[in-house]
A and B are shown apart, each in its own frame.
Chain A
Amino acid sequence: MDGGVGYADMDALKATELRLGLPGSDPPEKPLPTTTTTTATTARPTKRSLDEDRAARREPSEGGRATSTRATKAQVVGWPPIRSYRKNSFQAMKATAEAAGLYVKVSMDGAPYLRKIDLEVYAGYKELREALEDMFKCFEGCKGSEYAITYEDKDGDLMLVGDVPWEMFTSSCKKLRIIRGAEAIRGLGSSQ
């Protein structure tokens, strides 16, 4: 391209020029490059989104916060000034609160559906028992029926809950099963 930019070209150039200011307002005059330099007006995607946003905000229809332009505007790099680990931690916290934990199924003989509990919530067997009693009391047919809490371990064997240290139990328990009635009493012996 030779030196000397035509008016039409200047318009086109101005249209692509990115600057702070409302669309349609006059920019401060800057000398245009006379040699071909492709980087004279460097693309600034962040500024463009800002211009759009400001235009949207100053429209008379601005009132409610959830305008469609706001929802679709590009995010400005590094804004708001929050470190990325902290941004993620809030979203992650909500996610991990559900995702983390040792969730195991709990079935009870005769109950129409199963439950799921997070073993990490409980400090030991006592809390677990209390929680399970609470959870399944609506299904108890005749009061005082005996039941035994058992679990299936890593090897697939059905084990009685309470024999091993709590940590060992939580690391090997795959699912819980509450056995009721005569079957539970038989062969249980004294304590539970």
Chain B
Amino acid sequence: MVGGFRWAAMFPDEVWEHVFSFLPADADRNAAALVCRAWYRIEQRSRWRVFVGNCYAVEPAAAVRRFPEVRAAAIKGKPHFADFNLVPSDWGGGAEAWVEAMAEGWPHLEELRLKRMVVSDDCLELIARCFKNFKVLSLVSCEGFSTAGLAAIAANCRNLRELNLHENEVEDNCLHWMSHFPESFTSLVTLNIACLEGEVNVYVLERLIGRCPNLKTLRLNHSVPIQRLVGLLHRAPQLVDLGTGKFAAQHHPELFSTLESAIAGCKNLKSLSGFWEAGPTYLPAIYSVMDLIEDDGLIAVAASCKLLQELRVFPSDPYGAAQPISLTEHGLVAISAGCPMLHSVLYFCRQMTNSALLTVAKNCPNFTCFRLCIMEPHTPDYITRQPLDAGFSAIVESCKHLRRLSLSGLLTDLVFKSIGASANCLEMLSVAFAGDGDAGLHYILSGCKNLRKLEIRDCPFGDQPLLDNAAKLETMRSLWMSSCSVTLGACRQLARKMPLLNVEVINERKRGLPLELQPDNCPVEKLYIYRTVAGPRSDTPSCVWILR
């Protein structure tokens, strides 16, 4: 580099901004920002999209200062295991602090995506009032708000393009919230209200859809009867993605053919969701949800849905005694053989074999996400009675682009050795009821070089691997461990050694001495460790201790 020459001034700032716009990942932009002060400044001003994977990793005000021109923000709150009631309901993840800081510092914000956060109606009202050009609101797995908050959004966000409410818990106290979209409002492109429990006024919906010519995605809730759905489809023939919520279509077969022809009228339809009797074999379905499918159904899907990319099979009766339902490893193998574009699988079943997993691994080297849940913990290969180490090892060795993996069944430390050694792209790993001892966790933490999120429950992993791999934890977003063999002493040591980690010990049983007075060998029930530059958070409930 020529000394003293401000080479960054070779081009006007706008040129560098344009160059930076081609950098695909934030990590690349971060690297560019370190080159010189000019690039730092230019990159800072031109970054308009931020992703905050953990809302407590940084202070909202700091984020707003760091990137003052942000137009699109995505923020995540609670750990994933909150979905399964493992995280106390008052743990945190409130959105107010962020929304207030953003209202102050990002008045031009256009897109906000929140996941697993507690969002109040006040937050929604603030969003509706403060962001004049607000276009996208996506709330996924959130709670704390009601349809009154949605009414505020509808009334005030004149340029709203997307309202995506996915799997939220929404209180229904304003039946006519949708009527708050003014007659002049025509900009909607995506409307997903599948999670709303309440009735939807179909007349209002029809008029809304009728005046939004760019509507591409429409996901309704259970309250829209099939007959009315037909009318809606006639008003929106340009639809690309349709969801009918929980409506049980198969109980009205005579209406199904009417619906089928209405759907056929939507020439651009690529994605269909809801509960259907027959598979949509005439559509190149990218994502479809079917009701009560068994191996035979999956074999049919494998034969006809050649473009299938993602498959999710949930149990129809999660707590029933194992019924003679024919959903086994055969369905999964059939899909793996028949669907060459398949890259993401979530599969619940009651039995599995290593041989089946080896076949799946061979058939699908392109998996990016493989989540297998064998419903009964510690279930071995049902034919050989062996652990499923070999099967899962085959998956990680074959699927070189695997980014997400969930394990189940009987597993020893050997599977973790394979994962640690082979899963080089793995970013998220979920482990339950697996492993023999500390070695298992050590293999993971000392390998898996791209690991970001690790969540573990009911495994015999203890203190040593955590202490030996403390530095690794700073390279990850978060670690969750519950019902393992970690002691308070190790957590204290870890917290002292790693100031950039928040070590949260969660103890929901209020008996006995407060945590500060407990001895080092006190077992820790739930542990959540995450890297942060914000220090300990100030909104911890009484069941959470942040160790320093």
| Chain B stretch 308-342: residues in CB contact (< 8 A) with chain A | 314-319, 321-322
Interface of A: prevailing SS: loop
- The distance in angstroms between the C-alpha atoms of A26 and B169, with both chains bound, is 46
Query: Given A39-B518, A85-B167, A121-B254 in contact, is the A78-B316 Cβ separation under 8 Å?
Result: no
Evaluate contact between B84 and A81: CB separation under 8 angstroms.
yes
Evaluate contact between A89 and B246: CB separation under 8 angstroms.
yes
| Chain A stretch 45-99: residues in CB contact (< 8 A) with chain B | 46-47, 50, 53-54, 57, 65-66, 70-71, 75-87, 89-90, 92-93, 96-97
Selected interface stretch from B7-15, B28-36, B506-514, B530-538: B506-514
Evaluate contact between A86 and B84: CB separation under 8 angstroms.
no
- Shortest C-beta distance, B115 to chain A (Å), equals 13
Binary contact readout B371-400 vs A (1 if CB under 8 angstroms, 0 otherwise): 001010110000000000000000000000
Q: Which residues of A contact B319 (CB under 8 A)?
A: 75, 87
Q: Which residues of B contact A65 (CB under 8 A)?
A: 321-322
Interface residue? A40 (CB, 8 A): yes
Evaluate contact between A40 and B522: CB separation under 8 angstroms.
yes
Interface of B: prevailing SS: loop
- The distance in angstroms between the C-alpha atoms of A31 and B519, with both chains bound, is 11
Query: Given A37-B519, A93-B275, A121-B252 in contact, is the A80-B86 Cβ separation under 8 Å?
Result: no
Q: Which residues of A contact B248 (CB under 8 A)?
A: 93, 96-97
- Shortest C-beta distance, A99 to chain B (Å), equals 11
Evaluate contact between B83 and A39: CB separation under 8 angstroms.
no
Using C-beta atoms within 8 Å of the partner chain, give the interface range for chain A.
Answer: 35 or more
- The distance in angstroms between the C-alpha atoms of A81 and B408, with both chains bound, is 11
Interface residue? B443 (CB, 8 A): no
| Chain A stretch 6-54: residues in CB contact (< 8 A) with chain B | 20, 30-31, 33, 35, 37-44, 46-47, 50, 53-54
Interface residue? B177 (CB, 8 A): no
Interface residue? B450 (CB, 8 A): no
Interface residue? A138 (CB, 8 A): no
Interface residue? B457 (CB, 8 A): yes
Q: Which residues of B contact A31 (CB under 8 A)?
A: 521
- The distance in angstroms between the C-alpha atoms of A71 and B195, with both chains bound, is 32
Evaluate contact between B525 and A42: CB separation under 8 angstroms.
yes
Q: Which residues of A contact B483 (CB under 8 A)?
A: 44, 46-47
Binary contact readout B267-303 vs A (1 if CB under 8 angstroms, 0 otherwise): 0000000010000000000000001000000000000
| Chain B stretch 205-219: residues in CB contact (< 8 A) with chain A | none
Query: Given A54-B378, A66-B321 in contact, is the A39-B251 Cβ separation under 8 Å?
Result: no
Q: Which residues of A contact B513 (CB under 8 A)?
A: 37, 39
Interface residue? A120 (CB, 8 A): yes
Evaluate contact between B84 and A120: CB separation under 8 angstroms.
no
Evaluate contact between B254 and A81: CB separation under 8 angstroms.
no
Query: Given A39-B509, A82-B84 in contact, is the A30-B314 Cβ separation under 8 Å?
Result: no
Interface residue? B348 (CB, 8 A): yes
Binary contact readout B450-489 vs A (1 if CB under 8 angstroms, 0 otherwise): 0000000110100000000000000000000001010000
Q: Tell which of A66, A77, A83 touches B322, judged by Cβ atoms closer than 8 Å.
A: A66
Scoring B86, B321, B483, B509 by chain A CB atoms within 10 A of each residue's CB, the highest score goes to B483
- The distance in angstroms between the C-alpha atoms of A79 and B522, with both chains bound, is 25
Query: Given A47-B458, A76-B377 in contact, is the A84-B85 Cβ separation under 8 Å?
Result: yes
Q: Which residues of B contact A183 (CB under 8 A)?
A: none
Evaluate contact between B512 and A39: CB separation under 8 angstroms.
yes
- The distance in angstroms between the C-alpha atoms of A70 and B432, with both chains bound, is 19
- Shortest C-beta distance, A44 to chain B (Å), equals 6
Identity of the chain A residue whose Cβ is nearest the Cβ of B86 in the assembled complex: A78
Q: Tell which of A54, A66, A93 touches B246, judged by Cβ atoms closer than 8 Å.
A: A93
Evaluate contact between B378 and A30: CB separation under 8 angstroms.
no
Interface residue? A123 (CB, 8 A): yes
Identity of the chain A residue whose Cβ is nearest the Cβ of B317 in the assembled complex: A90
Q: Which residues of B contact A85 (CB under 8 A)?
A: 167, 169, 195
Interface residue? B523 (CB, 8 A): yes
Identity of the chain B residue whose Cβ is nearest the Cβ of A85 in the assembled complex: B167
Q: Which residues of A contact B378 (CB under 8 A)?
A: 54, 57
- The distance in angstroms between the C-alpha atoms of A27 and B153, with both chains bound, is 58
Evaluate contact between A42 and B322: CB separation under 8 angstroms.
no
Q: Which residues of A contact B375 (CB under 8 A)?
A: 80
Q: Which residues of A contact B53 (CB under 8 A)?
A: none
- The distance in angstroms between the C-alpha atoms of A44 and B83, with both chains bound, is 20
Evaluate contact between A80 and B315: CB separation under 8 angstroms.
yes
Evaluate contact between B460 and A86: CB separation under 8 angstroms.
no
Q: Tell which of A44, A57, A78, A93 touches B84, judged by Cβ atoms closer than 8 Å.
A: A78
Binary contact readout A98-124 vs B (1 if CB under 8 angstroms, 0 otherwise): 000000000000000000000011010
Contacts A31-B521, A50-B433, A78-B86 known; 11 new A-B pairs at CB < 8 A: A20-B458, A40-B521, A70-B321, A80-B373, A81-B432, A83-B84, A85-B195, A90-B317, A93-B248, A93-B291, A123-B227
24 contacts between A and B (CB under 8 A): A20-B460, A31-B521, A38-B512, A39-B513, A40-B522, A41-B523, A42-B509, A42-B523, A54-B378, A75-B319, A76-B377, A77-B85, A78-B84, A80-B375, A82-B315, A82-B318, A83-B83, A87-B319, A90-B317, A90-B318, A93-B291, A96-B222, A96-B246, A123-B258
Interface residues of A, Cβ cutoff 8 Å to B:
20, 30-31, 33, 35, 37-44, 46-47, 50, 53-54, 57, 65-66, 70-71, 75-87, 89-90, 92-93, 96-97, 120-121, 123, 127
- Top 8 A-B pairs, shortest CB-CB distance: A39-B512, A78-B84, A65-B322, A97-B248, A78-B86, A38-B512, A81-B84, A123-B227
